[in-house]
């Protein structure tokens, strides 16, 4: 699992946000488009792309995209 | 000129199942209402015939069998961003429950449910659905009204309703609206080719309160309304259109 690839996959879940706005240090919950629906999208992406399970609670506790990457990478 | 909320001018709309019946009538009306219409269907010849009748200027039709993944993907890849989609592609089916085979289940569910759902998913995944657009699914009154020999068709249309309602919640944050149309009997090639005679249908038609079955144009008018800005506050709705009939 590689951080840059994860950031690209994470950014691809957004519809209206420019992918360039989403970096490893982005606090994703501060993005206008972030929502519980996007949370579902990220959970499914993590399962499909990386074969890992991330929970809604973990999504709520992480702040930056890199935090989330580290949480998933440790699984 | 007064700004007309019912107009479809400036909207690009994909109509599946556009080579006949409700899809054809919807495509023709959308074009009359000012939309740029993209026709999809399986039969290239019939699709071209509908294309010739469209008033205004439109891209070439995009024939594809929506039950085939590679054809769905090629269709979506060839599409521009859309302001509206009308999912009309579907098939009829009449058989008693005790006669149903695995082939029947696949044939009806693949066309009426799986192909529709997977096309919609592909359109979203490939970002072909603009913010603020309107999606219309053709369900049926039979989803809620049981009739003999209609179990599989009814189930496929019920599945579409359930799918569309969930989809409406997922897309609401982007102001994308999702609604279903649930017609009672409509005179289309589909009802006339299901092993029921025209005479039988005409006898039942007389029992409808408005004394007639629907015409494809009746359904097209509702689809056009749901595609227009006049229905901006409608999403997750399943609208019955029945000529007054409470049964089918």
Our CA-based measurement puts residue B34 at a distance from the nearest CA of chain A, in whole angstroms, of 27
Instruction: State residue B105's pLDDT score.
Output: 98
Give B68 or B2, the one with higher predicted confidence.
B68
Q: What is the ipTM of this complex?
A: 0.78
Average pLDDT in chain B: 95
Instruction: State residue B247's pLDDT score.
Output: 87
Our CA-based measurement puts residue A4 at a distance from the nearest CA of chain B, in whole angstroms, of 21
Question: Quick one: pLDDT band at residue B194, thresholds 50, 70, 90?
Answer: low
CB-count exposure of residue B9 (10 Å: 0-12, 13-18, 19+) = exposed
B127 touches chain A (CB under 8 A): yes
Tell me the whole-structure pTM to 2 decimals: 0.92
* Each residue's pLDDT tens digit, A6-48: 999 999 999 889 999 999 999 999 999 999 899 999 999 999 9
Total tally of structural domains belonging to chain A:
1
Instruction: State residue B122's pLDDT score.
Output: 98
* Each residue's pLDDT tens digit, B45-65: 999 999 999 999 999 999 999
Q: Residue B193: pLDDT above 70?
A: no
CB < 8 Å to A17, chain B: none
Q: Residue B1: pLDDT above 60?
A: no
Q: Residue B202: pLDDT above 80?
A: yes
Token output for B243 = 């000529």
Angle, vertex CA A53, rays to CA A50 and CA A58, nearest 5:
115
Instruction: State residue B248's pLDDT score.
Output: 84
Nearest Cα to Cα of residue A40 among A65, A13, A71, A15: A13
Instruction: State residue B183's pLDDT score.
Output: 98
Residues 6+ away with beta carbon under 8 Å from B69: B118
Domain ranges, residue A46 = 3-14+21-73
Question: Quick one: pLDDT band at residue B2, thresholds 50, 70, 90?
Answer: low
C-alpha A74/C-alpha A1 separation (Å) is 10
Q: Which residue has 């990478």 as its token pair?
A: A73
Instruction: State residue B180's pLDDT score.
Output: 98
* Each residue's pLDDT tens digit, B145-179: 999 999 999 999 999 999 999 999 999 999 999 99
Q: For B132, which residue in chain A has the nearest alpha carbon? A: A16
Q: Residue A27: beta bridge partners? A: A64
Q: Residue A1: pLDDT above 90?
A: no
CB < 8 Å to A35, chain B: 173
Let me know if B213 is a catalytic residue. no
Decide if B127 and A15 are in contact by the 8 Å CB cutoff.
Answer: yes
Q: Which residue has 């529709």 as its token pair?
A: B116
DSSP B86-125: EE---------GGG--HHHHHHHHIIIIIHHHHHHHHHHH
What is residue B186's DSSP assignment?
B
- Domain spans of chain B, in order of start: 12-239
- B12-239 in CATH: which number? 3.40.50.720
Dump strand ranges (E) for chain B.
Answer: 12-15, 36-39, 82-87, 129-138, 177-183, 238-241
Q: For B170, which residue in chain A has the nearest alpha carbon? A: A37
Instruction: State residue B189's pLDDT score.
Output: 81
* Each residue's pLDDT tens digit, B11-57: 999 999 999 999 999 999 999 999 999 999 999 999 999 999 999 99
CATH code where residue A46 lies? 1.10.1200.10
């Amino acid at each position: 699992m590689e951080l840059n690839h994860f950031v690209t996959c994470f950014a691809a879940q957004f519809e209206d946000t420019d992918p360039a706005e989403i970096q490893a240090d982005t606090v994703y919950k501060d993005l206008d488009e972030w929502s519980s629906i996007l949370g579902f999208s990220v959970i499914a992406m993590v399962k499909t792309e990386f074969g890992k399970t991330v929970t809604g609670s973990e999504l709520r506790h992480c702040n930056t995209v890199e935090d989330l990457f580290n949480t998933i990478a440790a699984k | 000129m007064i700004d007309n909320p019912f107009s479809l001018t400036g909207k690009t709309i994909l109509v599946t199942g556009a080579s006949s019946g409700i899809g054809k009538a919807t495509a023709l009306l959308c074009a009359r209402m000012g939309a740029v219409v993209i026709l999809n269907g399986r039969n290239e010849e019939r699709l071209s015939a509908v294309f010739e009748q469209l008033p205004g200027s439109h891209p070439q039709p995009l024939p594809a069998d929506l039950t085939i993944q590679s054809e769905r993907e090629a269709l979506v890849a060839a599409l521009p961003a859309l302001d509206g989609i009308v999912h009309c592609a579907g098939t009829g089916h009449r058989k008693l429950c005790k006669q149903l085979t695995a082939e029947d289940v696949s044939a009806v569910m693949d066309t009426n449910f799986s192909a529709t759902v997977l096309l919609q998913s592909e359109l979203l995944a490939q970002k072909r659905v603009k913010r603020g657009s309107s999606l219309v699914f053709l369900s049926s009154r039979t989803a809620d009204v049981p009739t003999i020999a209609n179990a599989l068709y009814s189930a496929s249309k019920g599945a579409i309703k359930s799918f569309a309602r969930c989809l409406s919640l997922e897309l609401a944050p982007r102001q994308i609206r999702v609604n279903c149309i649930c017609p009672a009997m409509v005179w289309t090639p589909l009802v006339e080719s299901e092993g029921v005679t025209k005479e039988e249908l005409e006898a039942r038609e007389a029992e409808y309160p408005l004394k007639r079955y629907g015409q494809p144009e009746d359904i097209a008018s509702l689809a056009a309304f749901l595609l227009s800005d006049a229905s901006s506050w409608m999403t997750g709705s399943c609208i019955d259109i029945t000529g007054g009939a409470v049964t089918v």
